[in-house]
Homo-oligomer: A and B are copies of this chain.
Amino acid sequence: MKTKILLKEAEMPTHWYNVVADMPNPPTPPLGPDGQPVGPDALAAIFPNAIIEQEMSAERWIPIPEEVREALRLWRPSPLYRANRLEQALGTPAKIYFKNEAVSPAGSHKPNTAVAQAYYNKMEGIKRLTTETGAGQWGCSLALAGQLFDLEVEVYMVKVSYGQKPYRRSMMQTWGAKVFASPTDRTNAGRQILTAHPDSDGSLGIAISEAVELAAGRDDTNYALGSVLNHVLLHQTIIGEEAKKQLELVGDYPDMIFAPCGGGSNFGGIAFPFFADKAAGKAVQLVAVEPTSCPTLTKGVYAYDFGDAIGLTPLLKMYTLGHDFMPPGIHAGGLRYHGDSALVSQLHNEGLVDAWAVPQLETFEAGVLFAKTQGIVPAPESCHAIAAVIREAKRCTESGETKTLLFNLSGHGHFDMSSYDRYFAGELEDFDYPEAAIKESLAHLPKVG
C-alpha cells in the first residue's frame, strides 16, 4: 500500500490562495487606538508595501515569486502520508492522511511564510528584520529565511526560554541570526522593564515590544510576525493546495480536515484551500483544534481586542480570552495565545469553521501512539490535531463510517523531548478550565465604538 504521495517540484503551487475572495462577508478591519480602521500608512513603518497589500487584498490568487519558490524547493513540495499503520492500530474504517510539514529545515510549517516575508523585505531594500520568539520555532524559521535572502535577523527571545531552550537558540545562531534574551537594554521598552524588574523573566509581549520598537525606529529595519495576520495565513495556503493535489492523485477528498490552532496560520494553511470548495457547496468539515486550557475559539468571545499581551498592536476582531489572559503552562507553547486570526475567527463565527478543544494528556497519548505507529515524533502542537483525528477515527470504528480524514503534521518534536520526558514521568497534568482567569481578563477588553 502506498505510504507517501509526492509531488514533483514542477507541481508546486504557483499562487497562494486568498480565502477573503470566497468568504461570505468582507473581513473585519483592524482598528487603531481611535477606533478607526488602520490604513496601509500606519503599517509602513514596520512592513514592506508588498506585505501590506497582501494583508488588505481580496484577490483570490496571489502569485508566488519565483525566488520564493526557489527557496521553498529546499524542502517543498512536502510529502502527504497515508497513515496506514495508525489506521491499523486503531482498527478504524476511516482513511487517515497527514501533510508532513516537519520536513522543513526548521522542523515546522513556519518557514513557508518566513521565506516569503524575507523576500519581500529584501526586494524593498530592507537590510534587517526583527522579531520575537518564545520557545524558538518562529525565530528559527526567520533566521533560516534571513540567511537565504542575505538579511540580518535579530531575534528577541523571551529570557526564560533563552535559558531553558538553548538548542533552538543555537540553531538560530547557526543560521547567522543575532539572538537576544529579552528584556534587553537595547530598547526603551526593555530598559523600562529592567528598571522596574531587574530580574524579569521576560514575556512574549515584552519581546514583541522590543522587536517592533527597533523596526519602527530604523529605516533599514522591518518587523516580521509568524502567525495571526492575513498575509501569514496566505503564505501558508501552499500546504493545503499541495495536499489537495496529492489527494487528487490517489482519487481522494477529505470529509474532515484537522489542524492545531494557536494564531491560526497552521490551520488556515491546510484548511483554507478546501474552503474554496466548501464555499462552492462541497461538504468538507474544517476543524481547528485547541487546548482546553487555552480555549480561544471554544470558550472565548468574538470581540475587538489587542493582538499582543500589553496593548500595543491595532485591535483585531477575533475570538479572544482577553489580551492579558495568561494561559496555563502547557507544553504546546505555540497554542498558548489569547486570540486568533481574524479570518479564522470570522469563519468560525459564521459557522463555517468548527473548533474542538482537547486536554493536554490526551494530546501526548495521541502523539506517542503516532510515534509508535508512523515513526515520526510529533511536536506538542501537532499532537492536538492527532488527538482530534484519533477521536474521529474511533467514532468511525463505532459507526462503521469510512470517512477520509486529513490533518496537518505541523512539526516534529525533536526540540520538545523534555515534554515527552515529563509525560512519561507522570509529571504532566490536565489543567482545569481556567474559568475565573478568563472572566477576569475578559473584563479588560478594550471598549470599541
Contact = CB atoms under 8 A, between A and B. Distances in A.
Interface of A: 1-4, 6, 8-9, 70, 73-75, 85, 103-107, 144, 147-148, 166-168, 170-171, 173-176, 368, 371-372, 374-377, 414-415, 417-418, 420-421, 424
A375 B166 contact: no
A166 B3 contact: no
A4 B73 contact: yes
A170 B418 contact: yes
Nearest to A421: B170
A16 B418 CA distance: 38
B175 A107 contact: no
B170 A74 contact: no
Given A105-B375, A106-B375, A147-B372, 7 more contacts: A2-B9, A3-B9, A4-B9, A148-B375, A167-B421, A174-B424, A175-B372
A171 B417 contact: yes
Contact of A374 (B74, B103, B167): B74
B8 A6 contact: yes
A421 B75 CA distance: 25
B9 A75 contact: no
B414 A170 contact: no
Contacts of A144: 375
Nearest to A72: B3
24 contacts: A2-B9, A3-B73, A4-B73, A74-B85, A74-B375, A75-B375, A85-B148, A105-B375, A144-B375, A148-B375, A166-B417, A167-B417, A170-B418, A170-B420, A171-B377, A173-B420, A173-B421, A173-B424, A174-B371, A174-B372, A174-B417, A174-B424, A414-B414, A414-B415
Contacts of A376: 105
A421 B169 CA distance: 9
Nearest to A415: B414
A370 to B, nearest CB: 10
Give the 8 A-B CB pairs with smallest separation, nearest first. Answer: A105-B375, A167-B417, A170-B417, A414-B414, A3-B73, A170-B421, A74-B375, A170-B420
Nearest to A166: B421
Nearest to A424: B173
A4 B10 CA distance: 11
A412 to B, nearest CB: 8
Contacts of A176: 372
A166 B2 contact: no
A361 to B, nearest CB: 15
A181 to B, nearest CB: 15
A174 B8 contact: no
Given A3-B74, A375-B144, A368 B174 contact: yes
A155 to B, nearest CB: 15
Contacts of A167: 414, 417-418, 421
B3 A174 contact: no
A346 B154 CA distance: 52
A9 B250 CA distance: 14
A70 to B, nearest CB: 8
A9 B170 CA distance: 35
A168 B104 CA distance: 21
B166 A414 contact: no
Contacts of A107: 414
A112 to B, nearest CB: 13
A168 B439 CA distance: 42
Nearest to A145: B375
A80 to B, nearest CB: 12
A103 B103 contact: yes
